[in-house]
Amino acid sequence: MEKDLSNYRKSYERNPMIREDLPENPMELFQKWFYEADEFDGLEEANAMSVSTLGLDGFPKTRIVLLKKFTWEGFIFYTNYTSEKGKAIAANPNVCLNFFWHGLERQIIIKGQAEKIAANLSDGYFESRPDGSKLGALASDQSQEIASREALDDKLYKLEQAYENKEIPRPDFWGGFIVKPVSIEFWQGRPNRMHDRILYTLQESFEWKKSRLQP
């Protein structure tokens, strides 16, 4: 099988990033870009992001999750702590997040350290989820092998029966991570592949250094 993609090209024509006009704190710029992506026609799930971890097998792995909250401190998502992703983070909390908003010709690359959020915060988010999502979290031993789809559906069915008209508790193995950034790179597509790249790097003083990278 062979497919030559060398002629696949797109010209990026959107507005430039002028370093001097950008805020000193990257979370301000993230918020601005996120709201613009969220309101952009034709762009669904602006909060979809990739999470890259270094696995226990020594290989990096990237998957898509949904950002559920961002604060001055960092970026929060939820998962099964005993999943492949959760175990990788427990062994090495250094992760990379990436947002790519094609219609806006933008991406954001975030390097940071992930840590579990407080249990009561995970409780609060879990309670806000639909019952089907709660039961799905209980039913799935995420990343573990299972004999068939039917076996998985059977696990869910039994839980539906067991929790009918009952409160569904958050399992201890499910909750949130917050990724606290050490660097955030904002990438804006520009003509002739001369893209704008502005990198914010956290300093020991907890101030952010802002620099321009070559494309």
Residues of the chain with pLDDT under 50: none
Q: What residue ranges define each of the domains in the chain, with the CATH number in brackets?
A: 19-213 (2.30.110.10)
Q: What pLDDT sits at residue 3?
A: 61
Tell me the whole-structure pTM to 2 decimals.
0.91
Which residues belong to the active site? 193
- Tens of pLDDT, residues 52-84: 999 999 999 999 999 999 999 999 999 999 999
Q: What pLDDT sits at residue 29?
A: 97
Residues 15, 190 contacting (CB under 8 angstroms): no
Cα 108 to Cα 76, 84, 155, 185: the distances in Å are 16, 24, 38, 6
H/E stretch holding 136 reads helix 131-139
Percent of the chain with pLDDT over 90: 87
- Tens of pLDDT, residues 78-108: 999 999 999 999 999 999 999 999 999 999 9
Q: What are phi and psi of 7, to 5 degrees?
A: -95, 5
Q: What pLDDT sits at residue 80?
A: 97
Q: What pLDDT sits at residue 15?
A: 74
The neighbouring-strand residues paired with 79 are: 175
Query: HSE-up of 130 (CA within 13 Å, CB side)?
Result: 3
- Cα–Cα distance between 106 and 196 in angstroms, integer? 10
